Chains A and B, each alone.
Chain A
Amino acid sequence: MSWFEKLVPSKISTIQREKTIPEGVWVKCDSCSAQLYRNELERNLRVCPKCDHHMYISARKRLESFLDQGPQHEIGSNISATDPLKFRDDKKYTDRISSSIKSSGEKEALITFSGAIKGIKVVASAFEFSFMAGSMGSAVGERFVRGVEYAIDKKIPYICFSSSGGARMQESLFSLFQMTKTSNALARLAKAKMPYISIMTYPTTGGVSASLAMLGDINIAEPRAMIGFAGPRVIEQTVRQTLPEGFQSAEFLLEKGAIDLIVNRNQMRDKVSSILSILLKNKLT
């Protein structure tokens, strides 16, 4: 098991492994075990049509389905990680990066596009969870900031889909400071009075939830997404009791007042574009 598989609940590791199953026609739902026709599942953005379970979807597919088909361009794709601390555990950090690049097909754990949703120009980012558990290091922080700066510059809204285990340990304090860096960029976006929509997906924890993810003008979550500061295992060890069912779920956060709404992946485009069109009333031509 790699270090990030140990970080997250076993449910996610299952999703990871599922990717390596040879291309079959049928896929089993992680939640209700229903046998699903692969093409239909993909068409449904990897949401189980039987039980509404939101399965892992790659960052690129997510943005592809979220943005209009029209002109798009990727921002910050030339920014990648270094190894400032020469970090190694059983493996070198640089080796972990290389193998993540190979397995995820991405160069870092965050990708950003400028494009539009239903004609409204936006910048949208998404965390790639299969890249070192979507962890935030210097390159992720810089890519995020470039996206926000582009939005400020063009006076358009910024949207981010989070899916992350938190700050990337292998860059230690460099990673921690990305929390400041991303929050500072969002404060500048706020000063420009441009909307920031934060969409939290399974899972959003640690340094990412304690910075950019919780700072949305509108905080949205996918159904049953696990969202929290500390991981459930750490909390259980601290308080020495079993956590109640549904603790740190999107529904729990809605009840506690941390998020504005829960939106099904298939309705995300409609909802977000509708919200933006109202927020931007004076700025639409």
Chain B
Amino acid sequence: MSLNFLDFEQPIAELEAKIEELKYLKDDSGVNISQEISRLKKECDTLTKKIFSRLSPWQITQLARHPLRPYCLDYLDRIFDDFEELHGDRMYRDDPALIGGIGRLDGIEVMILGHQKGRDTKDRVYRNYGMPKPEGYRKALRIMKLAEKFNLPIITLIDTPGAYPGIGAEERGQSEAIARNLFEMSQLEVPIISLIIGEGGSGGALAIGVADKLLMLKYSIYSVISPEGCASILWKDATQAPRAAEALCISSDKLYQLGLVDGVLEEPLGGAHRAGEDFFKGIQRELKRNLSELQNTTVKNLLSNRHKKIENFGSYIEN
């Protein structure tokens, strides 16, 4: 199985290729091969651990965008039951880049929203590379209002390069659609949990990311601007993106240290795209745990805590 190795994973890829080769040899030769394989596997593990213990922000960015990384629909498949997708904003059209619907999280009724990227070329175009248009955000708001009406907690899975910067999107009020969601989400009378599963691309991510609990997967990113965008503004050169990624502090660990996110959820060695059932079980458990914390409080407390949290955003001095 090819795991689409990234540049910095090449040494791992080479070792794994060697192991594969030895496996083929096994049938027709001596006894020491299995020993050699287990030795190489150990070496490979150590190497992977070593590489993943000191990833640069740019390498993490590449992992967050990995083409095999689990997307929203994969999580819907693996950790939610009885999911029923709800379509359309009732005003213009349905947006496949932002999906939502009702379902159950291990028996708890919830409303789920998330950005959806595509796997192959056709699917990517259909999903608009996970970049929602105003109708996507308006659908999200409609669904969130529905959640409030039926007292369902909201879970949002964030994975977008950003809101779509296109002509139609501007014409239909991309700014207003995002702004309205921030305005409404800050007052919604049900618990909201947001989990960044891949890319947290600026306002396009935030528009479904005003939450009581903001969580990030270990190798996800969250930023006000893409490293490439930042680099092309600051250095007039998009190839400076690794530098920008460093400066923007976009990794989960860094953002947790800065107190901007509430928790970081572990990923298996090598990233979520190598994950097995355990990983998804773990995510389900964490979501449930956070949810029960929020459900143990009154609506009044929920909102006052959310407001306090929002009002505390920022770093400034007063003199």
Tell me the A residues contacting B by CB distance below 8 Å: 3, 6-7, 78-82, 84-85, 87-90, 137-139, 141-142, 145, 167-169, 171-181, 183-184, 186-188, 190-191, 206-207, 209-215, 227-230, 234-235, 238-239, 243, 247-248, 256-258
Looking across the interface, which residue of chain B has its beta carbon closest to that of A208?
Answer: B175
Known contacts A169-B225, A211-B179; A230 and B314 CB within 8 A of each other: no
Tell me the B residues contacting A by CB distance below 8 Å: 163-167, 169-176, 178-180, 182-184, 186-187, 202-203, 206-207, 210, 222-225, 229-230, 233-236, 247-250, 255, 258, 260, 307, 310-311, 313-319
Known contacts A176-B224, A179-B206, A180-B210; A209 and B235 CB within 8 A of each other: no
| Complex Cα–Cα for A84 and B249 (A) | 10
List the 7 shortest-distance A-B pairs measured between CB atoms, nearest first.
A230-B165, A138-B314, A183-B182, A184-B186, A177-B313, A84-B315, A229-B174
The reply to whether B316 and A82 form a contact with Cβ atoms under 8 Å apart is yes
The reply to whether B316 and A138 form a contact with Cβ atoms under 8 Å apart is yes
**Could you say which residues of chain B place their CB within 8 Å of the CB of A256?**
171-173
| Complex Cα–Cα for A269 and B116 (A) | 46
**Could you say which residues of chain B place their CB within 8 Å of the CB of A212?**
179
The reply to whether A3 and B234 form a contact with Cβ atoms under 8 Å apart is yes
Looking across the interface, which residue of chain A has its beta carbon closest to that of B202?
Answer: A176
**Could you say which residues of chain B place their CB within 8 Å of the CB of A141?**
313-314
**Could you say which residues of chain A place their CB within 8 Å of the CB of B236?**
6
| Complex Cα–Cα for A246 and B121 (A) | 34
A-B contact list, 15 entries, CB within 8 Å: A139-B316, A141-B313, A167-B224, A176-B202, A177-B310, A177-B314, A184-B310, A207-B202, A211-B178, A211-B179, A214-B173, A215-B180, A229-B178, A230-B169, A239-B166
The reply to whether A85 and B314 form a contact with Cβ atoms under 8 Å apart is no
In the complex, besides A82-B317, A173-B250, A174-B260, 6 extra interface pairs with C-beta distance below 8 angstroms are A137-B314, A172-B225, A172-B250, A173-B223, A176-B223, A229-B170
Which of A90, A184, A230 touches B174 (beta carbons < 8 Å)? A230
The reply to whether A6 and B316 form a contact with Cβ atoms under 8 Å apart is no
Known contacts A176-B224, A184-B310, A207-B224; A243 and B316 CB within 8 A of each other: no
| Complex Cα–Cα for A211 and B180 (A) | 8
| Complex Cα–Cα for A236 and B58 (A) | 26
The reply to whether A247 and B170 form a contact with Cβ atoms under 8 Å apart is yes
The reply to whether A183 and B175 form a contact with Cβ atoms under 8 Å apart is no
The reply to whether B165 and A238 form a contact with Cβ atoms under 8 Å apart is yes
The reply to whether A243 and B317 form a contact with Cβ atoms under 8 Å apart is no
Tell me the minimal C-beta distance from B13 to chain A in angstroms. 32
Looking across the interface, which residue of chain B has its beta carbon closest to that of A108?
Answer: B316
| Complex Cα–Cα for A100 and B230 (A) | 20
| Complex Cα–Cα for A49 and B266 (A) | 63
| Complex Cα–Cα for A235 and B229 (A) | 13
| Complex Cα–Cα for A89 and B245 (A) | 11
The reply to whether B224 and A180 form a contact with Cβ atoms under 8 Å apart is no
The reply to whether A177 and B260 form a contact with Cβ atoms under 8 Å apart is yes
Tell me the minimal C-beta distance from B36 to chain A in angstroms. 47
The reply to whether A229 and B169 form a contact with Cβ atoms under 8 Å apart is yes
**Could you say which residues of chain A place their CB within 8 Å of the CB of B314?**
137-139, 141-142, 174, 177-178, 181
The reply to whether A187 and B183 form a contact with Cβ atoms under 8 Å apart is yes
| Complex Cα–Cα for A187 and B310 (A) | 12
Most B C-beta atoms less than 10 A away, residue of A78, A90, A173: A173
Tell me the minimal C-beta distance from A160 to chain B in angstroms. 13
Known contacts A7-B233, A84-B315, A139-B316; A184 and B179 CB within 8 A of each other: no
Which of B174, B202, B210, B316 touches A81 (beta carbons < 8 Å)? B316
The reply to whether A87 and B170 form a contact with Cβ atoms under 8 Å apart is no
Which of A142, A176, A206, A234 touches B206 (beta carbons < 8 Å)? A176
Which of A169, A213, A243 touches B167 (beta carbons < 8 Å)? A243
| Complex Cα–Cα for A137 and B176 (A) | 20
The reply to whether A85 and B249 form a contact with Cβ atoms under 8 Å apart is yes
**Could you say which residues of chain B place their CB within 8 Å of the CB of A228?**
170, 175
**Could you say which residues of chain B place their CB within 8 Å of the CB of A215?**
179-180, 183
Most B C-beta atoms less than 10 A away, residue of A79, A186, A214: A214
Tell me the minimal C-beta distance from B164 to chain A in angstroms. 8
The reply to whether B250 and A176 form a contact with Cβ atoms under 8 Å apart is no
